[in-house]
């Protein structure tokens, strides 16, 4: 990465962003805006439109009109593929601009942002562009003079509510399969990370996506998100974020048209380290990165470290060493390992969890404090807490910050019990050289994604989805397409 190019992009003023509806930029219906605060320095970066329920209704109406006249759904698969490939090319061509804009907005360190945001988004859009003309209907094995056909059709209008931690990556997980199947989409970005996603939506229009097929409305979840959830004209709602918001969206579905709702919610992922792990030093470094990169603001973050008692002290010392070697600071410097916490609200919440952990008997062996206060930004030292009971708050509640809770175990069965002792089931890790143990743990630990002797890295070829209160449905892979299609049976007498 070229630091001088990053610095030049950092120096550029960020223009105000407005809604994108029916292929045009438009202000909020009442003219209201809201300030965007950069977590890097706590200063106002720009403004975005503060959307109203009326704005959301207008965007949904635009998406519905685009779907009904089939300006996108009616195009041949090859034509849709051409547009999506061009979109991916534009994302890639503007990758550094998108990454720097996103970092200024949400604080992710630039090295991770380049790979995980525009890099991942472009790859995801290409993946579904390649897949869209390979989704076939079916011929049923009926008997007699009957031909049974199963058609796969787009559902209609998709509402997508995107979180602030990886808006481009997670946005592409929703947009890729939804648009590939011919749906129209209305995006609702996060209040504290709208900018790069809005810019990516603009690039879709530049690539040739017809007006109205992709609309984007900024604003508060309690206003525009609620309007989307209660709409009678949204057919599918997809969301990544907190369990509390997920519950509200399910309620909105029941109160409106019973739209399908797919949720990727929180996690409290166990990272289980056995004494026979193939390389304990490597396991410690990867475990530290698995919780502390992006300041712990990762849905699958390895936030619970379960360590076999016989190696507990030595392994924790290695993790602490790795954590203390990670540089926290300005996320637009290429040598920064851990960037800023997304907002002051999130930072206060993180520190509150540390206070609670201490009160419940945990031992903060490193970190636990706000740092770099002189910058005006929101920074927190990577924090390791030992002596965390399986029923402690730190073991049960998602922090979504750079806070690691450590719990010892003495047997495989105990490790499984502790791993499965939360309401979540999103991800986990297993470190062992024992093949039989590996397969038993893969069988018994309840999680949608399990890493073995590594942590992080699954690509678009495999699904991501949770169990329990970590949600339902799948992002990524061909399985994600199933959320965005309807099956229609044709029963034909010959």
CB atoms within 10 A of CB 348: 12
Q: Indicate whether 257 and 383 sit together in one domain.
A: no
Q: Indicate whether 423 and 366 sit together in one domain.
A: yes
Q: Indicate whether 484 and 421 sit together in one domain.
A: no
Residue 481 lies in a domain: yes
Please, how many CA atoms are within 13 Å of residue 132, restricted to the half-sphere of its CB? 31
**CATH number reported for the structural domain that contains residue 186 in this entry:** 3.40.605.10
Q: Indicate whether 203 and 235 sit together in one domain.
A: yes
Residue 165 lies in a domain: yes
Tokens 């050289």 found at: 433
Residue 205 neighbours by CB under 8 Å, 6+ apart: 20, 23, 211, 214
Helix (H) or strand (E) holding 443: helix 435-444
Q: Indicate whether 277 and 383 sit together in one domain.
A: yes
| Residue-range definition of the domain harbouring residue 369 | 270-459
Residue 465 lies in a domain: no
Q: Indicate whether 285 and 417 sit together in one domain.
A: yes
**pLDDT tens-digit map of 356-394:** 999 999 999 999 999 999 999 999 999 999 999 999 999
Helix (H) or strand (E) holding 160: strand 157-161
When pLDDT is cut at 50, 70 and 90, the band that residue 480 belongs to is very high
Residue 52 lies in a domain: yes
pTM: 0.97
Residue 412 lies in a domain: yes
Q: How far apart are CA 27 and CA 19, in angstroms?
A: 6
Q: How far apart are CA 489 and CA 208, in angstroms?
A: 33
Residue 216 lies in a domain: yes
Q: Indicate whether 363 and 276 sit together in one domain.
A: yes
Domain count for the chain, please give it: 2
**pLDDT tens-digit map of 150-178:** 999 999 999 999 999 999 999 999 999 99
Residue 464 is classified by DSSP as B
Q: Is 264 a catalytic residue?
A: yes
Residue 466 lies in a domain: no
**1 has pLDDT over 90:** no
Q: Indicate whether 303 and 200 sit together in one domain.
A: no
Q: Indicate whether 160 and 281 sit together in one domain.
A: no
Q: Indicate whether 18 and 60 sit together in one domain.
A: yes
Rounded to 5 degrees, φ, ψ at 12 are: -75, 135
Residue 325 neighbours by CB under 8 Å, 6+ apart: none
Q: Quick one: 277 exposed, middle or buried, by C-beta within 10 A (0-12, 13-18, 19+)?
A: buried
Residue 341 lies in a domain: yes
When pLDDT is cut at 50, 70 and 90, the band that residue 485 belongs to is very high
How far, rounded to the nearest angstrom, does the alpha carbon of residue 374 sit from its chain's CA centroid?
30
Q: Indicate whether 255 and 275 sit together in one domain.
A: no
Residue 201 neighbours by CB under 8 Å, 6+ apart: 20, 187, 214, 216
Residue 210 is classified by DSSP as P
Residue 353 is classified by DSSP as H
Q: Indicate whether 113 and 223 sit together in one domain.
A: yes
- Which one of the listed residues 264, 308, 318, 398 is annotated catalytic? 264
**CATH number reported for the structural domain that contains residue 431 in this entry:** 3.40.309.10
**pLDDT tens-digit map of 60-69:** 999 999 999 9
- What rounded mean pLDDT belongs to the chain? 98
**pLDDT tens-digit map of 187-198:** 999 999 999 999
- What is residue 143's predicted lDDT score, i.e. its pLDDT? 87
């Amino acid at each position: 990465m070229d630091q001088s190019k990053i610095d030049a992009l950092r120096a550029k003023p960020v223009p105000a962003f407005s809604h994108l509806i029916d292929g045009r930029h438009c202000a909020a219906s009442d003219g209201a805006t809201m300030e965007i605060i950069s977590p890097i320095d706590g200063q106002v970066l720009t403004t975005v439109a503060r959307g109203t329920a009326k704005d959301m209704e207008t965007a949904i109406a635009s998406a519905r009109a685009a779907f009904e006249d089939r300006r996108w759904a009616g195009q041949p698969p090859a034509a849709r593929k051409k547009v999506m490939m061009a979109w991916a090319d534009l994302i890639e061509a503007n990758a550094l601009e998108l990454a720097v804009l996103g970092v200024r907005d949400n604080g992710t360190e630039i090295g991770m942002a380049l790979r995980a945001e525009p890099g991942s988004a472009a790859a995801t859009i290409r993946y579904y562009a390649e897949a869209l003309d390979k989704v076939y209907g079916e011929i049923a094995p009926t008997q007699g003079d009957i031909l049974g056909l199963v058609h796969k059709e787009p559902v209609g209008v998709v509402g997508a509510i995107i979180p602030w931690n990886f808006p481009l990556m997670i946005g592409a997980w929703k947009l890729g399969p939804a648009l590939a199947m011919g749906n129209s989409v209305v995006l609702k970005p996060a209040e504290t990370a709208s900018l790069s996603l809005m810019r990516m939506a603009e690039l879709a229009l530049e690539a040739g996506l017809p007006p109205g097929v992709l609309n984007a409305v900024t604003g508060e979840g309690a206003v525009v998100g609620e309007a989307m959830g209660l709409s009678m004209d949204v057919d599918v709602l997809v969301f990544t974020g907190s369990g509390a918001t997920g519950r509200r969206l399910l309620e909105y579905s029941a109160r409106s048209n019973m739209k399908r709702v797919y949720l990727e919610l929180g996690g409290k992922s166990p990272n289980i380290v056995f004494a026979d792990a193939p390389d304990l030093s490597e396991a410690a470094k990867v475990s530290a990165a698995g919780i502390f990169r992006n300041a712990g603001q990762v849905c699958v973050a390895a936030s619970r470290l379960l360590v076999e008692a016989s190696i507990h002290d030595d392994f924790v010392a290695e993790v602490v060493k790795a954590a203390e070697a990670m540089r926290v600071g300005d996320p637009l410097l290429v040598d920064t390992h851990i960037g800023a916490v997304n907002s002051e609200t999130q930072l206060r919440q993180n520190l509150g969890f540390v206070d609670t952990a201490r009160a419940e008997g945990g031992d903060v062996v490193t970190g636990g404090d706000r740092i770099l206060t002189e910058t005006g930004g929101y920074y927190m030292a990577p924090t390791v807490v030992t002596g965390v009971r399986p029923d402690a708050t730190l073991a049960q509640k998602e922090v979504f910050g750079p806070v690691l809770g450590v719990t010892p175990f003495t047997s495989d069965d105990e490790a499984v019990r502790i791993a499965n002792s939360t309401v979540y089931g999103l991800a986990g890790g297993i470190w062992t050289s024992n093949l039989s143990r590996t397969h038993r743990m893969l069988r018994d630990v309840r999680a949608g994604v399990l890493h073995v002797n590594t942590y992080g890295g699954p690509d678009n070829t495999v699904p991501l989805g949770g169990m329990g209160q970590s949600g339902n449905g799948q992002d990524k892979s061909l399985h994600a397409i199933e959320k965005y299609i309807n099956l229609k049976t044709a029963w034909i007498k010959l």
